[in-house]
Amino acid sequence: MDFAPRMSRFKPSPSQIATARVRDLQAQGRDIIKLTAGEPDFPAPEHAKQAVMELMERNEIQYTPINGTLAMRQAVQNKFKRDNGLDYDLDQIAVGSGSKQILFNALMATVSSGDEVIIPGPYWASYPDMVKLAGGTPIFVLAGQNEKFKMRPEELEAAITPQTKWLMFCSPSNPTGATYSHDELRALADVLLRHPHVHVLTDDVYEHLLFDDHEFATLAQVEPKLYDRTVTANSVSKAYSMTGFRCGYAGGPKDIIAKMSNMQSQSTAGVSALGQAGAVAALNGPQDLLKERAANLQRRRDMLFEKLNAAEGLSCDLPEGAMYIFCSCAGTIGRRTPDGKIIENDTDFTMYLLDSVGVAVVQGEAYGLAPYFRASFVAPEADLICGGDLIRQACVALT
């Protein structure tokens, strides 16, 4: 088989490779503490599950419209107005099988060869590969730990060229948890206003996972003049712990939303009727569980943060949102493991943790910045404490 040239534009997800290695070790009988999860471990809301069961009882599980059921689009419309102060007509709303498909559809419908997409880093590993698959060129703007992993306005300005089609933006961020304040977004918006050819694709899936009284804002909300060139994407996966429902959504310019729906019509078509029923119930139902769950995650964040920051050779900042700690392992580079191997990079360090003490994390190189690793604090508290202690022991064992 001669494979299509597009298959050479991207590579398998590093997190999937790490997951495969974990499965191999578990198959060998090893106990592994997994700090790699990208999904909350809370149950889906009871009213969302009940809505799915009621739909099945009514046998209303046929094909759904490409752009989402009327009830789903209305729920999204109400959510954007309630939470973000954004008003969208129903034909300005897209519904996809998770926010990943929403982002993919937007890029595939608009990006072609020669187009550039600015991606602040560290970034979710899928962003650049989606851009490449669409034929575009990802332009990375990396911000280090001393910058709190946040892109500065002058860095955005310098990255924009006549070929720039999109800015892809995620706050709170995967993998760092960095969260842009209203004033920080205002400064970025001022740059974007000077470049009317640049559109904005925001990934707001961690909107409700905020800590320490941080408040969420999104770019089209901060600067209404960006409304007509911003696609604001979100999903029920992270906020409501409904990852398997596979239901994402977006609001944006009517012409872009229409092309995204056309793209979806030739791939997955309409989103699962069951997933949409659950999502409607979650978006329209009680919202008090969101703050309760964020408080729970904040407690777990603090547990893991304390353990990692106490480990020799590691250094991390307290994330403001999301569900990950992005930790520097620079102090371990060049050191030797008990079996004599030199730690040359963050991949070596993460494999050392996995093989020596059975703790799985993801190397920072997968997210565009080394030497770091991403550790998820969505794990049982006992695993966070034990995993943190084991990481500390592994660091002590380096010479």
Show which of 286, 321, 337 is a domain's final residue. Answer: 286
Contacts of 241 (CB under 8 A, 6+ apart): 39, 40, 41, 42, 43, 44, 45, 293
Q: In what order do the strands lie in the sheet with 248-251?
A: 93-96, 248-251, 230-235, 199-203, 164-170, 116-121, 137-142
Show which of 268, 286, 304 is a domain's final residue. Answer: 286
Question: Which pLDDT score is estimated for 129?
Answer: 94
Torsion region of 85: left, alpha or beta (phi above 0 gives left; psi -120 to 50 gives alpha) = left
Question: Which pLDDT score is estimated for 323?
Answer: 97
Question: Which pLDDT score is estimated for 14?
Answer: 63
- Cα–Cα dist 129/184, whole Å: 27
Task: Name the domain count of the chain.
Answer: 2
Q: Considering just the CA atoms, what is the radius of gyration of the chain in Å?
A: 21
Q: Are residues 317 and 277 in the same domain?
A: no
User: What CATH number is given to the structural domain containing 247?
Assistant: 3.40.640.10
Q: Are residues 174 and 320 in the same domain?
A: no
Question: Which pLDDT score is estimated for 13?
Answer: 67
Q: Are residues 218 and 323 in the same domain?
A: no
Question: Which pLDDT score is estimated for 254?
Answer: 98
Q: Are residues 352 and 263 in the same domain?
A: no
Q: Are residues 125 and 259 in the same domain?
A: yes
Low-confidence ranges of the chain (pLDDT < 50): none
Domain that holds residue 116: 46-286
DSSP assignment string, 265-323: HTTT-S--HHHHHHHHHHHHS--HHHHHHHHHHHHHHHHHHHHHHTSTT-EEPPPSBTT
Show which of 222, 251, 286 is a domain's final residue. Answer: 286
Question: Which pLDDT score is estimated for 15?
Answer: 65
Q: Are residues 128 and 9 in the same domain?
A: no
Q: Are residues 390 and 375 in the same domain?
A: yes
Backbone angles phi, psi at 230, to 5 degrees: -125, 130
